[in-house]
Structure 1
Amino acid sequence: MSGPQFGPWHRLSAVSVHAYTAVGVVLALLMVHMSYAGEVETVLWLFLAAMIIDGSDGFLARHFRVKEVTPGFDGALLDNIVDYITYAFAPMVLLWSTGYLPDGWWGGVVASVPLLASCFQFCRSDAKTDDHFFVGFPSYWNIAAFYLIVLGAGVATTTTALLVLTVLVFVPIKYVYPSQTETAWWLTMTLTLVWFGLYALILMQYPSPSLWLIALSGGYVIYYAALSLRLTLKRRRGHSGAAVSSEAGASARTRDS
């Protein structure tokens, strides 16, 4: 039995989705260039553009069935390449080139630590679980850089924050995948869109943004972390309960035999 037949429009739509994802590479190039030019605000706007693309290309890929229409092209690999350079590499370039990291080669060392940790995470076969979670801190270095910059963090604070988040990459907490995790999906997506709006408002006020706006946007970060931790603990308790029930059942069968 042959599979579905796709016409030129379907193929054009699928290829367009891949091209839309690939635009992130151009944004990353601009991020690096603008970082060395000292255009911090421009880079932060580019971060927002990259996040919007990353948050919407999955919907488009599923809608246009790109896996079926273009089976010879690995869209997931493309997405990982773009995410690595926009979420990890470019933010470290921005922080290092604009004086948020230690001077000299120590700054390069600090910048390299998150990049190496992200290499590990992006190559993990279980980095994204079947129930749509990220395992370990999901390399949101662009968001970390955003807050460090708008809050005017010093070198010590920035370095400490990056090292702490690097450790969290290896801690098996399951972080919510906002556009796909089913639990509290509507609430999470609504708050995500609100956060995008707050991000833009903060940048409009940069370099002297309202602390109230920053705190309000930080509420979403707290919600995201709390929901991720709660769901992680809930699933662990569920697995523990299932294991205890299984052991009890095995013991009962042994006594009956």
Structure 2
Amino acid sequence: MDPSSRHDSASISRTARAAAFSVHIFTAMGAGIALIALLEAVREHWTAMFAWLAAALVVDALDGPIARRLDVVRVLPEWSGEMLDLVVDFVTYVFVPAYAIVASGLLLPPTAPLLGVGIVVTGALYFADRRMKTADNHFRGFPALWNAVAFYLFLLQLSPALSSLLVAVLIVLTFVPFNVIHPVRVTRLRGLTLSLIGVWAVLVVITLLYDFNVAMPVTVALCAIGLYVVASDAVIRLLRPANA
């Protein structure tokens, strides 16, 4: 170990280390929330499942800023917050939603298990890909947002054939090199993006409170915002002049 590193470690107080470790505990609570969501899914309490997944999203949104504020990487170098975050993200963004998509009857019965396996396998590979984010903080390919996909499948109630086709297409798009905006870290149109995400969050809460029985304008707005997140970067690049 570098002498300076030993000196830095010795100079860090127990209070600072405890505060930093509490952030890791907070992050890991996302896995506990995922388990509760899965238990609700097994009981086919779908709205409750989505409510718990939404709580996991709140944890995911807060732990990063808190970790940076407390300088967790420097204070606790022996613990990998990045690895912990990926583990929790996999169960909340991929595994639990995959179960819901497969077990809910929204897909064609013969294809449902295969598509479920496709979701979790490609999701695991995506999180292991060091190229999953571009230099300007976009996601590369469909970013394994299967919690959002599950939400929209429950909202739209498409035919099983169409839902199966959509899931299959998204599995393939996981490895197609197009960019999807990160709602917080992408600087271009950040104000617009964050405003739309705020509206989306409110509409999601309303949708869950009404057990997915919402008026058509709510559904249209949710779909429009989802389309913006997934396709806006591709549209901007398509319309951008070649010399821009």
- TM-score w.r.t. the length of structure 1 is 0.85
Q: Which amino acid aligns with 1:112?
A: V
Q: Which moved more, 1:178-187 or 1:161-170?
A: 178-187
Counterpart CA distance in 1 for 2:240 and 2:114 is 36
Match in the other structure for 1:54: 60
The question of 1:183 aligning with 2:188 is answered yes
Q: Which amino acid aligns with 1:205?
A: Y
Q: Is the CA contact 1:96–1:107 (under 8 Å) kept in the aligned structure 2?
A: yes
The question of 1:119 aligning with 2:124 is answered yes
Shift of the 18–167 alpha-carbon distance from structure 1 to 2, 3 Å rule, reads same
Q: Which amino acid aligns with 1:204?
A: L
Query: Residues 157-215 of structure 1: CA distance to partner in whole angstroms, max 9, x if unpaired?
Result: 22111111111111111221112122222322222122111110111111412221121
Counterpart CA distance in 1 for 2:103 and 2:36 is 14
Alpha-carbon distance, 1:76 to partner: 0.6
Query: Residues 125-151 of structure 1: CA distance to partner in whole angstroms, max 9, x if unpaired?
Result: 111233312111000111011011022
Q: Which amino acid aligns with 1:40?
A: W
The question of 1:43 aligning with 2:49 is answered yes
Of all paired residues, the percent bearing the same amino acid is 28
Query: Residues 44-71 of structure 1: CA distance to partner in whole angstroms, max 9, x if unpaired?
Result: 1112111122122211121111111111
Q: Which amino acid aligns with 2:106?
A: Y
1:213 partner SS: helix
Shift of the 62–109 alpha-carbon distance from structure 1 to 2, 3 Å rule, reads same
The question of 1:204 aligning with 2:244 is answered no
Q: Is the CA contact 2:203–2:222 (under 8 Å) kept in the aligned structure 1?
A: yes
Aligned length: 238
Q: Structure 2 stretches of 5 or more lacking a match? A: none
Counterpart CA distance in 2 for 1:73 and 1:233 is 42
Shift of the 7–129 alpha-carbon distance from structure 1 to 2, 3 Å rule, reads farther
Counterpart CA distance in 1 for 2:183 and 2:19 is 24
Match in the other structure for 1:159: 164
Residue of 70, 74, 77 corresponding to 1:71: 77
Counterpart CA distance in 1 for 2:44 and 2:188 is 41
Counterpart CA distance in 2 for 1:225 and 1:199 is 17
Structure 1 vs Structure 2 CA RMSD? 2.2
Q: Is the CA contact 2:180–2:231 (under 8 Å) kept in the aligned structure 1?
A: no
Which entry has the higher C-alpha Rg, 1 or 2?
Answer: 1
Q: Which amino acid aligns with 1:53?
A: V
Alpha-carbon distance, 1:91 to partner: 0.6
Q: Is the CA contact 1:127–1:134 (under 8 Å) kept in the aligned structure 2?
A: yes
Q: Which amino acid aligns with 2:122?
A: A
Residue of 229, 241, 245 corresponding to 2:234: 229
1:93 partner SS: helix
Shift of the 202–63 alpha-carbon distance from structure 1 to 2, 3 Å rule, reads same
Alpha-carbon distance, 1:236 to partner: 11
1:38 partner SS: coil
2:139 partner SS: strand
Match in the other structure for 1:144: 149
Residue of 6, 10, 18 corresponding to 2:16: 10
Q: Which amino acid aligns with 1:137?
A: F
Match in the other structure for 1:219: 224
Residue of 24, 28, 41 corresponding to 2:30: 24
Q: Which amino acid aligns with 2:96?
A: A
Q: Which moved more, 1:113-122 or 1:3-12?
A: 3-12
Counterpart CA distance in 2 for 1:138 and 1:97 is 22
Query: Residues 213-252 of structure 1: CA distance to partner in whole angstroms, max 9, x if unpaired?
Result: 12112221122123321465589957xx8xxxxxxxxxxx
Residue of 76, 86, 91 corresponding to 2:92: 86
Counterpart CA distance in 2 for 1:171 and 1:216 is 27
Q: Which amino acid aligns with 1:10?
A: A
Alpha-carbon distance, 1:83 to partner: 0.7
Counterpart CA distance in 2 for 1:81 and 1:166 is 20
